[in-house]
Amino acid sequence: SARVAAAAMSVFVTRRIPAEGLQVLSQASGCRVQQWDSEEPVPRAELLAGVAGTRGLLCLLSDRIDREVLDAAGPDLKVISTLSVGFDHLALDEIKKRGIRVGYTPDVLTDATAELSVALLLSACRRLPEAAEQVKSGGWTTWKPLWMCGYGLSDSTVGIIGLGRIGQAVARRLKPFGVRKFLYTGSGPKPENAAEFGAEFVPLKRLAEESDFVVVTCALTPATQGMCNKDFFGRMKKTSVFVNTSRGAVVNQEDLYNALASGQIAAAGLDVTTPEPLPTDHPLLSLKNCVILPHIGSATYATRSTMAVLAANNLLAGLRGEPMPHELKL
């Protein structure tokens, strides 16, 4: 009956999302949308109440979807669609156990995130925020031969941790800057992906030792959590630059702080931290050689709009029992 169909399409959206995405849901026949219509994250209690009895959940990377949320949702929950390519916020084992399908947003944010990764790398190695600050503060007195010097990409070795969609897009963009050699690491060699850059698969330790620039573009998993630690930074050259646009927890931040403060490495650029937001009194923010951005990798208007439409279409397809545009294989 119509009543059953309507119930079959009840969805909870955990945030205000780009209008194009919400429109897809609200125009779908029989889809009843409930939304936490705010720029700020849904409070845990509201999330638990909001998911109760829902069939579809459209969530963000800031929502931890664990057993508690799944229990609160109950047995009607059939589809989770996340507005992200990362899925470390989802308890996939619990989700799989309950037969819930998951949609996510690969590919559509690759270019924007790779572009931001390059911007962050250049900001860190050429000291852009520090230099711009000198102009404002009166630190710019005259042209000086050794003032505000940094490190360039020409003839450099770039190490990519995780040569996936974004890692490859970063390498593709960095190559024309005159990079001499690409190294990469991951769960195994990917000759078909590496060929374009002549990239060499190496163990993590060798990547740390030989790279002038390290760019982290892997997923956060139990294997990658805390992977960039004291041992890793200790192997890097004093002139090398570290960039992370994956997830903050891949890095041991205390170890990174010590490496930056002691001059063990030259500089770092982070788009992701733990926690997010990073407290404004965090020690990393006191360092001149650390550029920190507020997780804006995919933040272009066009990309966010496309992500929202994709997330909405994933959700609807899942609810209708159809193939999703991008379903995560569980």
To the nearest whole angstrom, how small is the minimum distance from the Cβ of residue 26 to ligand NDP?
27
Beta carbons of 51 and 12 less than 8 angstroms apart: yes
Out of 18, 186, 269, 318, the only residue in the binding site for ligand NDP (CB under 6 A) is 186
To the nearest whole angstrom, how small is the minimum distance from the Cβ of residue 124 to ligand DGY?
19
To the nearest whole angstrom, how small is the minimum distance from the Cβ of residue 298 to ligand DGY?
3
Instruction: Look at the alpha carbons of 298, 174, 262, 140 in this order and tell me if their dihedral is positive or negative.
Output: negative
**Can you name the residues that pair with 234 across neighbouring β-strands?**
none
Give buried/exposed letters for 255-278 (b at 16+ CB in 10 A, else e): bbbebbeeebbbbbbbbbbeeeeb
To the nearest whole angstrom, how small is the minimum distance from the Cβ of residue 208 to ligand DGY?
24
Out of 24, 57, 58, 61, the only residue in the binding site for ligand DGY (CB under 6 A) is 61
Nearest CA-CA partner of 212 in 154, 172, 289, 158: 158
Out of 166, 174, 307, 308, the only residue in the binding site for ligand NDP (CB under 6 A) is 166
**CA distances, 115 to each of 145, 220, 307, 326 (Å):** 30, 20, 17, 23
- Look up residue 77 and give its two tokens: 């929950």
Out of 221, 225, 239, 274, the only residue in the binding site for ligand NDP (CB under 6 A) is 221
Residue 253 makes contact with ligand DGY by CB under 6 A: no
61 binds, among ligand DGY, ligand NDP, none (CB under 5 to 8 A by kind): ligand DGY
174 binds, among ligand DGY, ligand NDP, none (CB under 5 to 8 A by kind): none
Residue 298 makes contact with ligand DGY by CB under 6 A: yes
- Interacting stretch for ligand DGY, rule CB under 6 A, among 78-86, 114-122, 163-171, 204-212? 78-86
Give the distance, in angstroms, between the CA of residue 100 and the centroid of all CA atoms in the same chain: 23
Residue 85 makes contact with ligand DGY by CB under 6 A: yes
DSSP string, 44-109: HHHHHHHHTT-SEEEE-TTS-B-HHHHHHH-TT--EEEESSS--TTB-HHHHHHTT-EEE---STT
d(CA 213, CA 218): 15
Give residue for tokens 């999302």. Answer: 17
Residue 84 makes contact with ligand DGY by CB under 6 A: yes
Show contacts with ligand NDP in window 256-315 (CB under 6 A). Answer: 271-272, 295, 297-298
Residue 191 makes contact with ligand NDP by CB under 6 A: no
Nearer to ligand NDP, 113 or 156 (CB): 113
Residue 123 makes contact with ligand NDP by CB under 6 A: no
DSSP string, 165-202: HHHHHHHHHHGGGT--EEEEESSS--HHHHGGGTPEE-
Q: Is 326 considered catalytic here?
A: no
d(CA 262, CA 201): 30
Residue 215 makes contact with ligand NDP by CB under 6 A: no
The residues of the shown chain that bind ligand NDP, judged by CB under 6 A, are: 85-86, 106, 109-110, 113, 161-167, 185-188, 217-221, 223-224, 245-247, 271-272, 295, 297-298
Q: Which residues are annotated as catalytic? A: 295
Give the binding site for ligand DGY (CB under 6 A): 61, 84-86, 109, 297-298
